[in-house]
Amino acid sequence: MPRPVQRRNGPHTLPQSGTDDPCAVACRPPIHKHPMDSDGTSLDIQPGNAALAALERRCFDDPWTAEDYARLRGNPGAVAWILRDGARLALGFVCMQQAGGELEIYRIAVAPEQRRKGRARRLLGEVIMHAAREGLRQVFLEVRAGNAAARGLYTAMGFEQAALRKGYFKHPPEDALVYRCIPAGKKD
């Protein structure tokens, strides 16, 4: 499990795309309703670590345990959310940490039978709105270089590739691409 730390190498710089804020429009997620969205889903902002670990085992080859989540969530600014349906079944989750004016997404996943239904887009939209409300400068995440579906979603949601981390993932071995988004209304 990556150790949650504040980035020490300063802000990442990205090529500009003809505007002062390359993500200002793309990082503006759709408006939604709480606590239950029109599709019958809701966001559980205080899920148990066992629930996170159970969903994790269904989504990853290298799953985190309930103990991993307990350690991570013991850190200041670390939170996890689960997207649930009307019957309270877990559909997907996100785990992240806020520090130093930035937010890093450590894990975002959707149950295999729930993929391609907009669940990850909903979770990512919630994260971006949270970052904007909190006045955070940037949102970061890492993704396997070979995960074309996730990379497509992140790009569609306004993220841009900021860096490459050679050999970052171990099970199975693969490079990581670091993606960054500037929440709507923020400037570098």
Residue 49 is classified by DSSP as H
**Mean pLDDT, residues 166-176 taken together:** 93
Mean of pLDDT over the chain: 82
Return the pLDDT at 62: 86
Count of helix runs (H) and strand runs (E) in the chain: 4, 7
Write the pLDDT tens digit of every residue in 47-106. 999 999 999 999 998 899 999 999 999 999 999 999 999 888 999 999 999 999 999 999
Please confirm whether the linkage preceding 172 is cis (ω < 30° from 0): yes
Could you tell me if 77 and 98 are in contact, meaning their C-beta atoms sit under 8 angstroms apart?
Answer: yes
Structure tokens, 175: 């490079």
**Mean pLDDT, residues 127-134 taken together:** 94
Return the pLDDT at 13: 29
**Mean pLDDT, residues 148-175 taken together:** 95
Sign of CA dihedral 38, 122, 89, 47: negative
Return the pLDDT at 187: 52
Specify the higher pLDDT residue, 63 or 186: 63
Return the pLDDT at 153: 96
Structure tokens, 63: 């799953």
Q: String of b and e for 98-111 (b: at least 16 CB within 10 Å)? A: bbeebbbbbbbbbb
Neighbours of 87 (CB within 10 A): 6
Hey, what CATH topology would domain 42-181 get? Aminopeptidase (3.40.630)
Whether the pLDDT of residue 138 is over 60: the answer is yes
- Say what percent of the chain tops pLDDT 70: 78
Return the pLDDT at 87: 87
pTM of this prediction? Answer: 0.78
Return the pLDDT at 184: 79
**Mean pLDDT, residues 11-22 taken together:** 31
Instruction: For residue 22, give Cα distances in angstroms to 27, 39, 74.
Output: 9, 31, 34
Q: For residue 185, what pLDDT band results from cuts at 50, 70 and 90?
A: low
Could you tell me if 150 and 141 are in contact, meaning their C-beta atoms sit under 8 angstroms apart?
Answer: no
Cα separation, 186 vs 101, whole angstroms:
11
Structure tokens, 29: 């997620």
**Mean pLDDT, residues 27-43 taken together:** 57
